[in-house]
């Protein structure tokens, strides 16, 4: 197996520019790169860990039901299977509520180290409706000292971020994220 080349890391990922979710995910990845690489913010995975915990519990319950049914065939395992199926569907309902109301389209949470224990938290969320070309990016910043949350957003066509070959142009994404980032920083300094 050949060692990974640093040239491969910078190689643009080619996507189907007519697939809305693929385009959204590619632009989201480019925004995440800007926050974590350019600004050197530390990514926080707590939101994703919450989703994985809920899914892990649901899978654990399903595996327990499978094992119990194997050890004690159906007529005997009926009450346990009913309980496990009900618990699985409840966990899927909780997962739906979690992704709808807690995650809210957030794809990256990054912490800006300020030298103290308190850190400024940056969140990026995006929205792209089905059959629409308008990509909406919301960048928010929660101040470490005051706890105040500020938001800046942009809404542009995905054609502004993707070239004719189907590759996201990282320089354009970096410029747009930089504008939002700087507007939030200047807003903080004015207060």
Structure tokens at 5: 């080349």
Please tell me what DSSP assigns to residue 122: E
- Specify the CATH number for the domain of residue 168: 3.30.160
Would you say residue 10 lies in a domain?
Answer: no
Of 62, 77, 102, which residue sits at a domain end?
A: 102
Would you say residue 4 lies in a domain?
Answer: no
Strands 120-127 and 134-142: antiparallel
pLDDT for residue 58: 95
Domains in the chain: how many in total?
2
Would you say residue 120 lies in a domain?
Answer: yes
Task: Please state the rounded mean pLDDT for residues 63-69.
Answer: 93
Could you tell me if 88 and 134 lie in one domain?
no
Could you tell me if 92 and 154 lie in one domain?
no
Could you tell me if 119 and 61 lie in one domain?
no
Would you say residue 9 lies in a domain?
Answer: no
pLDDT for 17-57, tens place per residue?
A: 778 888 888 888 889 998 888 888 888 888 899 999 999 99
Residue ranges with strand state E in 39-88: 42-43
> What range does the domain containing 137 cover?
23-41+113-190
pLDDT for residue 43: 85
pLDDT for 111-145, tens place per residue?
A: 887 666 677 888 899 998 888 889 999 999 887 77
Asked if 156 and 134 count as a contact pair (C-beta separation under 8 A), the reply is: yes
Could you tell me if 183 and 125 lie in one domain?
yes
């Amino acid at each position: 197996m050949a060692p990974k080349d640093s040239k491969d890391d910078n190689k643009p990922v080619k996507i189907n520019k007519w697939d809305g979710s693929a385009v959204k995910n590619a632009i989201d990845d480019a925004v995440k790169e800007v926050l974590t690489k350019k600004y050197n913010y530390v990514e926080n995975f707590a939101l994703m860990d919450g989703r994985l915990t809920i899914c892990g519990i649901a899978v654990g319950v399903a595996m327990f039901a499978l094992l119990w049914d194997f050890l004690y065939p159906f007529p005997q395992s009926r009450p346990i299977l009913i309980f496990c199926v009900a618990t699985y569907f409840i966990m899927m309902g909780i997962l739906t509520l979690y992704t709808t109301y807690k995650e809210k389209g957030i794809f990256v949470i990054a912490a800006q180290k300020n030298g103290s224990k308190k850190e400024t938290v940056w969140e990026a969320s995006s929205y792209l409706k089905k059959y629409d070309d308008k990509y909406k990016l919301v960048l928010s910043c929660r101040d470490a000292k005051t706890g105040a949350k500020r938001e800046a957003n942009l809404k542009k066509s995905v054609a502004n971020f993707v070239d004719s070959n189907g590759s996201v142009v990282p320089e354009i994404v970096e410029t747009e994220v930089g504008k939002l980032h700087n507007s939030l920083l200047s807003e903080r300094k004015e207060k």
